[in-house]
Amino acid sequence: MISKIQDSMEQAVADIPDGATVMIGGFGNAGMPSALIDALIDQGARELTVVNNNAGNGERGLAALLQSGRVRKMICSFPRQTDSHVFDALYRAGKIELELTPQGNLAERIRAAGAGIGGFFSPTGYGTLLAEGKEARTINGRDYVLEMPIHADFALIKARAADRWGNLVYRKTARNFGPIMAMAAQVTVAEVNEVVELGALDPEAIVTPGIFVQRVVRRTVQQGSH
């Protein structure tokens, strides 16, 4: 019998090595797997490359991971926010590398990795600073820039519910990058509010099929209700 359910957050992230590329779901705090991030901070892996839309808000979650000094590079679309002071200070001190990518290119690069695409031509960013050094091509009269996939060793995502085969459903706009990051990583770990019996999720409504999910771990009450 296959069960992807893990006993603890610690167990779920125990084998993330130094130097790993880790995708972390969420748009701001919506969909951020904060219990898994806390476990990753405790686990101690260093020199990480982290992929997220943002670069941390306030002091918790991704901001806490950055503050711990374990992240060598951020790949994101929107690091600068009113409460991104942790990232801002690291960036200004030259302690973190930034790869800035337009949000839709970020999403599509992640999706492309999961879908086995070797690169794609996107119109987004053509003629801007963010296309400098990239191959450009005119196709049917429109200008495009070559964008490459982003693969990850691990993806840490948050979902509302899972079953033991790793099928997932999400909650509202907390879905955001979860489904595509699950496809792009060698190992996807889903932090969920609820584990349900096999068959309890409507097969017509499963958003991420279990083939894209290797581990599931339930948040405890102490780890918050969302």
In angstroms, what CA-CA distances link 104 with 29, 76, 188, 206? 19, 11, 21, 24
Site string for other proteins, 99-138 (x = CB under 8 A): -xxxxxx-xx-xx----------xxxxxxxxx--------
Q: Shortest Cβ distance from residue 166 to other proteins (Å)?
A: 17
User: Contact, 146 vs 121, CB < 8 A?
Assistant: yes
Token pair 């590398």 in the structure block, residue: 97
Minimum separation from the CB atom of position 207 to other proteins (A) = 8
Show the binding pattern over residues 44-73: x = contacts other proteins (CB under 8 A), - = does not: ---------x---x----------------
Rounded Cα–Cα distance for residues 82 and 174 (Å): 21
Other C-beta atoms closer than 10 Å to the C-beta of 202 total 8
Tell me whether residue 46 or residue 80 sits nearer to other proteins (CB atom): 80
Residue 91's nearest CA partner among 46, 138, 56, 59 is 56
What are the backbone dihedrals phi and psi of residue 140, each rounded to the nearest 5 degrees, phi first? 50, 40
Give the residue, chosen from 171, 206, 209, 223, that forms a contact with other proteins under the rule CB under 8 A.
171
Taking the least distance from each CB to other proteins, the nearer of 10 and 117 is 117
Q: By C-alpha distance, which of 169, 211, 172, 174 is closest to 194?
A: 169
* 178 is a site residue for other proteins (CB under 8 A): yes
Number of residues engaging other proteins in binding (CB under 8 A): 50
Reading the block at residue 141, the tokens are 């009269």
Provide the CB-side half-sphere exposure for 220 (13 A, CA).
Answer: 7
Nearer Cβ to other proteins (10/88): 88
At 34 the three-state DSSP class reads: helix
Site string for other proteins, 74-93 (x = CB under 8 A): ---xxxxx-----xx--xx-
Q: How far is the CB of 77 from other proteins (least distance, A)?
A: 5
**Cβ neighbours of residue 136 under 8 Å, at least 6 residues apart?**
126, 143, 144, 145, 146
Which of the ranges 21-29, 42-50, 67-75, 209-217 carries the binding residues for other proteins, by CB under 8 A? 21-29
Provide the mask over 136-165, with x wherever binding to other proteins is found by CB under 8 A and - wherever it is not: -------x----------------------
Indicate the residue among 41 and 207 with the shorter CB distance to other proteins: 207
185-195 and 152-162 as β-strands: parallel, antiparallel, unpaired?
Answer: parallel
Which residues make up the interface to other proteins (CB under 8 A)?
27-31, 53, 57, 77-81, 87-88, 91-92, 98, 100-105, 107-108, 110-111, 122-130, 143, 170-180, 207, 226
